Structure 1
Amino acid sequence: MTAHRNFKQRVRARAAKTGESYTSALRHFRPTPTGEDMPEPFRIAVAQSTVHEDPTNSQLLRESGAEVRRLMREAAAAGARLVHFCEGAICFPSKRVMSSLGPDEIGPSDWTKADWPVLQDELDQITKLAQQLGIWTVIPSVHQLPGERPHNSMYVVSDKGQVVARYDERALSTTKVTWMYTPGAEAVTFDVDGLRFGLALGLDVLFPELFTEYDRLGADTVLVSYASTSGRNEHIGVQARGTAANNTCWISLAVTANPETGLVAGVTSPKGEWLAQAPEDGRPSIAVTDLQPSEWSQVGRTFRQRTRERIGS
């Protein structure tokens, strides 16, 4: 354990000095023949959970919050360092429920109808539990903006129970940007135990340039939260696998617990292979796997950076 700890300290010290991610700094070190210098794996849990569409219904908000906390406990019991939830894990507001003209006609969302106190209370309970369990928690939610439409956001809650980052969806659908939300403006990363994580939400998953940006920012893993309440959406899983392979990074895909969509939550390897997936029957559950930092993914990133400089992209 001492060898592992000393090795990680050396890698982290370089990362802090240079601004590199953990895996970027890792390439400057070589494991011993016995493997004693290999860094410890990072255990991650990704959730598929029930998605309700009515933020005016306090009972449904309470049910969603209770389910999130149950899955947090399962993730902590499995030894996960971080648990990642899908878009709409507490609520995925329907354009018809929120329409000021609806439900038969879609118009500007009337956010005064949402039960904001209950929503905030559920988030507060989640942050408190994150501290109690000592687990990092990435939980999407609607983020209220005074006098403006809210953001569709992801909160990053540390193992100390503090919200340390927030990402706002950028690639909003036509409905979202026209009637519902204020778009986000920038990429967001955060570091845990030397690994750098990026965040993507909703239709962000369809835009490769957003993941290229995270590649340039040194993200080792991108946490993608996506909600699907109807129709088949297997292509989202294909997109996640391709993005992982194109950027030699891990992708954690958190989705709705709904077997009719053809999607299940899972984590891909940097080669675009599923390392773990939740049950295909669509029941609320988690998938757990270990991320093992390696030099291989950094080789791909270095190659892409060098090539982009050469071709001027």
Structure 2
Amino acid sequence: MPEANTLKSVRLAVAQTPAREDPRDVDALRESGRQVRALMREASARDARIVHFPEGAICFPNKLIMSVDGPDTVGPADWDRYQWAVAQAELAAIAELARELRLWTVIAAVHRLTEPNRPHNSLYVLSDRGEVVTRYDERLLSNTKVSYMYSPGLAPVTFDLQGMRFGCLLGIEIHYPELFAEYETLDVDCVLFSTTGVSPGNAAVQAQGHAASNSYWVSFSVPTQHGATAPSGVIAPNGDWLGRCPADGSPSVAVVDLDDRSEAAAESVVYARPWRRKSRGGIYTGHQVADQRSEDRTAAF
């Protein structure tokens, strides 16, 4: 078990909300903000310290709706179609509620850049003071996203809360194990992964693999549209699900404790992760031997 002075514990809520795809629809953007705030209140009532939302929590702009060559052909996105003022007002209200509830909030949104640059697809990290403490921008974008819609991000992002370090990933980045391995080298305890749908059932299995192979927690947040097949949830460092939202497609949160002392975490965090690091550091060199039967790959039994 971990030493008493190194024990870490955070109560995390992971959410699933509807992904609305038309950024011209003011009422839909406002409803997204209302739904996010309702789940923030639920998470707070269940004593969560941080809540994590899926990609598209405010809006996931549809590539055909945004296309200058649409509505039947994908082309460069016309970002003038996005109701920026409305979306930013909803984000401001979310930040204010984070301050009121004293609740850290990780919320996905489009981050506007200086024209003519395309925006980022991002995760904002809001502290319990309602302040943006950092922002993660999706780096490994899909072909459509990078060709027509977004500018890719540049770097991993981490932040600390109650002694635990969190990292952020987004979109299709579940398919890139090197990004999850990168966060292991950055001493991350939990990766917050938000997506709208990259074959969610398959993505959920991949998330379990990333959690187990890196011995950290993974928070897996998807829209309600995928709730029946792959609801949002949190995976322990041993690859087991700690908790999941209902599989009925309802807007909801699952609340779990990320705790070094838990049975699901102790062996992975205390033993497996340090050993993997040690084994990658060259400890085998002194045990390797120069032997003719070792060098001869065709040696008989």
Q: What TM-score do you get using the length of structure 1 for normalisation?
A: 0.85
- Give the alignment of 1:181-260 within 5 angstroms: 181-228=150-197, 233-259=200-226
Q: For each residue in 1:243-295, what CA deviation from the matched residue of structure 2 results, as whole angstroms up to 9, or x when unmatched?
A: 10000000000101024761100001100000000000111100011111245
Q: CA deviation at 1:105?
A: 1.3
Q: CA deviation at 1:298?
A: 4.0
* Contact 1:172 1:203 survives alignment (8 Å): yes
Q: In the alignment, which residue of structure 2 is the partner of 1:176?
A: 145
* Partner AA of 2:146 in structure 1: V
* Partner AA of 1:268 in structure 2: I
Q: CA deviation at 1:101?
A: 1.1
Q: CA deviation at 1:42?
A: 1.4
* Partner AA of 2:123 in structure 1: M
> How big is the alpha-carbon RMSD for the aligned residues of Structure 1 and Structure 2?
1.8
* Partner AA of 2:210 in structure 1: T
The residue matched to 1:72 in structure 2 has which SS?
A: helix
* Partner AA of 1:170 in structure 2: R
* Contact 2:24 2:83 survives alignment (8 Å): yes
Which of 70, 73, 98 pairs up with 1:102? 70
Aligned equivalents of 1:182, 1:249: Cα separation in 2 = 29
Q: In the alignment, which residue of structure 2 is the partner of 1:143?
A: 111
Q: CA deviation at 1:58?
A: 0.9
Aligned equivalents of 1:261, 1:169: Cα separation in 2 = 26
Which of 229, 243, 246 pairs up with 1:262? 229
Q: In the alignment, which residue of structure 2 is the partner of 1:277?
A: 244
- The size of the alignment, in residue pairs, is 278
Q: What TM-score do you get using the length of structure 2 for normalisation?
A: 0.88
* Contact 1:48 1:85 survives alignment (8 Å): yes
The residue matched to 1:47 in structure 2 has which SS?
A: strand
Q: Does 1:155 align with 2:124?
A: yes
The residue matched to 2:85 in structure 1 has which SS?
A: helix
Aligned equivalents of 2:282, 2:156: Cα separation in 1 = 25
* Partner AA of 1:72 in structure 2: M
Q: 1:143 to 1:286 in 2, by over 3 A?
A: same
- Give the alignment of 1:10-159 within 5 angstroms: 27=2, 29=3, 31=4, 39=7, 41-147=9-115, 148-159=117-128
Q: For each residue in 1:180-221, what CA deviation from the matched residue of structure 2 results, as whole angstroms up to 9, or x when unmatched?
A: 000111100000010000000011111100010000000000
* Partner AA of 2:70 in structure 1: G
* Partner AA of 1:120 in structure 2: Q
Q: 1:47 to 1:260 in 2, by over 3 A?
A: closer
Aligned equivalents of 1:233, 1:223: Cα separation in 2 = 15
Structure 1 residues without counterparts, runs of 5 or longer:
1-25, 32-36
Q: In the alignment, which residue of structure 2 is the partner of 1:291?
A: 258
Q: In the alignment, which residue of structure 1 is the partner of 2:287?
A: none
Structure 2 residues without counterparts, runs of 5 or longer:
285-301
Q: CA deviation at 1:54?
A: 0.8
Aligned equivalents of 1:213, 1:87: Cα separation in 2 = 21
Q: 1:261 to 1:221 in 2, by over 3 A?
A: same
Aligned equivalents of 1:119, 1:270: Cα separation in 2 = 35
* Contact 2:52 2:221 survives alignment (8 Å): yes
Q: In the alignment, which residue of structure 2 is the partner of 1:164?
A: 133
